[in-house]
């Protein structure tokens, strides 16, 4: 079982790894040492670059919400794999929502960060696989937890700043409907209908002003049919994001609107309606061509856990429950446990490679924050404590 192949290649580590995992080899003769993960500084340029790629991959995997940008690296460990299989990085990233929708597929570096009073911030944990000779940079799993900036603190600093509104508020829907009607009226031919409201706030300035952001889909109706048209769209894929405002002043209404359209996308694997996208499916997207190393694009989607983004309410709204200040409740709980076995479990990553040999990496329980490098967390882009997870 421990026999080595005369010409060691990548595919050969499997029996060795399995053996190590099963602890079958006895304590006396481990064929390969178990290397503990290495802590890196959170301001190292190489680490920042990898963290940027990891976040890009997370954004690319998401179907809704806004693109997340990297505010700072909070923690990073590298677990070098045996037999030059590359490394698994355990990243904890402090992130901020930008003003780009994930469906725009824009790189987070090209997106604007929200103004402080509209900020949504939080933390992501990611298991990032890096194999430079194999040209692989791939997030195997992630989870994020986000919260809106503290309404109470914003209100103290800026009593006149807009405050968030419930997306179901009738005024929010009215603002979306009226601003979209204005957009359609000014549009040459194509008509659009509301897909989903994604953000809403309001402010008193000599009258009430409402600000909304919403996704739109193409309407099959022409301009002339307008409101009398009852045709159902053949698909309901969001095609753009609009920002609308409605100001009411002395019984007068002022409406403004701007819309940004998404680049046509190659159909997402597992998408309900792959025929919906007429985009040039085989051309690399801007994002991909900017990326130096990419995972094979046609990798079959494996039953490997990717992740999700969890939205929690304003922290202020939760304070009353745990009255004592130093309660151990985590403000931004992010769970990313692929295993609880301290020796780790092996994970098949063969699907990331073009050659058919089986490749497995060892995944460990997510490292504890307490053992992170003294150079962590790194410096923040937005250093305001209101948008930094504690």
Query: Could you tell me the smallest distance in angstroms from the CB atom of residue 366 to ligand NAG?
Result: 8
* The binder of ligand NAG chosen from 330, 337, 357, 358 (CB under 6 A): 337
Does 305 help bind ligand NAG (rule: CB under 6 A)? yes
* CA-to-CA dists, residue 12 to 3, 18, 239, angstroms: 10, 11, 47
Considering the rule CB under 6 A, would residue 141 count as an interface residue with ligand NAG? yes
What residues contact 159, with CB distance under 8 A and at least 6 apart?
A: none
Stretch that binds ligand NAG, among 24-32, 53-61, 255-263, 331-339 (CB under 6 A): 331-339
The verdict on 37 binding ligand NAG (CB under 6 A) reads: no
Choices 24-32, 111-119, 147-155, 333-341 (CB under 6 A): range interacting with ligand NAG = 333-341
Q: Quick one: 148 or 240, whose CB is closer to ligand NAG?
A: 148
Q: Where are the alpha helices (DSSP H) in the chain?
A: 13-22, 45-61, 151-157, 170-186, 286-290
The sign one gets for the Cα dihedral 315, 320, 323, 327 is: negative
Residue 340 near ligand NAG by CB under 6 A: no
Using the minimum distance from each CB to ligand NAG, give the nearer residue, 151 or 306. 306
**149 or 309: CB nearest ligand NAG:** 309
Q: How many residues bind ligand NAG (CB under 6 A)?
A: 12
Residue 43 CB, shortest distance to ligand NAG, in Å, is 4
Q: Is 248 in the site for ligand NAG (CB under 6 A)?
A: no
- Other residues' Cβ atoms within 10 Å of the Cβ of residue 368: 9
Show the CA angle centred on residue 325, arms to residues 319 and 331, nearest 5°.
55
Sign of CA dihedral 102, 103, 109, 113: negative
Distances (CA, A) of 257 to 14, 125, 175, 250: 58, 36, 10, 21
When the beta carbons of 68 and 257 are compared against ligand NAG, the nearer one is: 68
- Work out which of 9, 280, 313, 379 binds ligand NAG, going by CB under 6 A: 379
Binding mask 161-200 for ligand NAG (x = CB under 6 A): ----------------------------------------
Q: Which of 362, 351, 287 is nearest to 134 (CA)?
A: 351
Cα(103)–Cα(264) distance, integer angstroms = 10
Select from 14, 19, 338, 388 the one that contacts ligand NAG (CB under 6 A).
338
Q: What whole-number distance in Å separates Cα of residue 240 and Cα of residue 179?
A: 14
Contact 113, 85 (CB under 8 A): no
Looking at beta carbons only, is 257 or 336 nearer to ligand NAG?
A: 336
Range in contact with ligand NAG (rule: CB under 6 A) among 88-96, 234-242, 282-290, 336-344 = 336-344
Q: What are phi and psi of 336, to 5 degrees?
A: -145, 80
What is the binding site for ligand NAG (CB under 6 A)?
43, 45, 141, 143, 305, 308, 310, 335-338, 379
């Amino acid at each position: 079982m421990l026999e080595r192949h005369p010409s060691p290649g990548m595919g050969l580590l499997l029996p060795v790894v399995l053996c190590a995992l099963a602890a079958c080899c006895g304590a006396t003769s481990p064929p390969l040492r178990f290397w503990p993960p290495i802590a890196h500084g959170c301001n190292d340029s190489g680490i920042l670059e990898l963290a940027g790629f990891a976040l890009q991959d997370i954004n690319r995997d998401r179907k809704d919400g806004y693109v997340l940008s990297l505010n700072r690296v909070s923690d990073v460990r590298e677990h070098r794999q045996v037999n030059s299989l590359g490394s698994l990085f355990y990243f904890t990233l402090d992130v901020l929502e930008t003003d780009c929708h994930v469906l725009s597929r824009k790189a987070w570096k090209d997106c604007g960060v929200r103004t402080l009073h509209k900020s949504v911030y939080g933390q992501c944990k990611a298991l990032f696989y890096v194999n430079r000779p194999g040209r692989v940079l791939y997030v195997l799993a992630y989870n994020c937890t986000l919260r809106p900036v503290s309404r109470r603190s914003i209100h103290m600093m800026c009593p006149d700043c807009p405050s968030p509104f419930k997306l179901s508020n009738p005024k929010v829907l009215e603002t979306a409907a009226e601003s979209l009607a204005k957009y359609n009226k000014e549009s040459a031919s194509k008509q659009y209908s509301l897909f989903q409201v994604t953000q809403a706030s309001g402010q008193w300035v000599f009258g009430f002003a409402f600000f909304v952001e919403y996704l739109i889909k193409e309407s099959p109706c022409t301009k002339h049919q307008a409101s009398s048209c009852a045709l159902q769209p053949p698909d309901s894929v969001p095609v753009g994001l609009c920002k609308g405002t409605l100001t009411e002043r002395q019984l007068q209404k002022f409406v403004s609107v701007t819309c940004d359209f998404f680049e046509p996308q190659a159909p997402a694997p597992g998408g309900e309606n792959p025929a919906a996208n007429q985009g040039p499916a085989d051309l690399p997207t801007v994002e991909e061509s900017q990326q130096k190393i990419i995972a094979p694009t046609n990798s079959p989607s494996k039953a490997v856990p990717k992740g999700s983004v969890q939205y929690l309410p304003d922290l202020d709204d939760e304070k009353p429950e745990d009255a004592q200040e130093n309660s151990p409740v985590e403000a931004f709980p992010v769970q990313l446990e692929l295993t609880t076995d301290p020796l780790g479990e092996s994970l098949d990553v063969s699907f990331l490679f073009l050659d058919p040999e089986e490749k497995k990496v060892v995944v460990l329980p997510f490292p504890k924050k307490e053992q992170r490098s003294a150079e962590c967390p790194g410096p923040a882009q937005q250093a305001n404590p209101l948008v930094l997870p504690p």
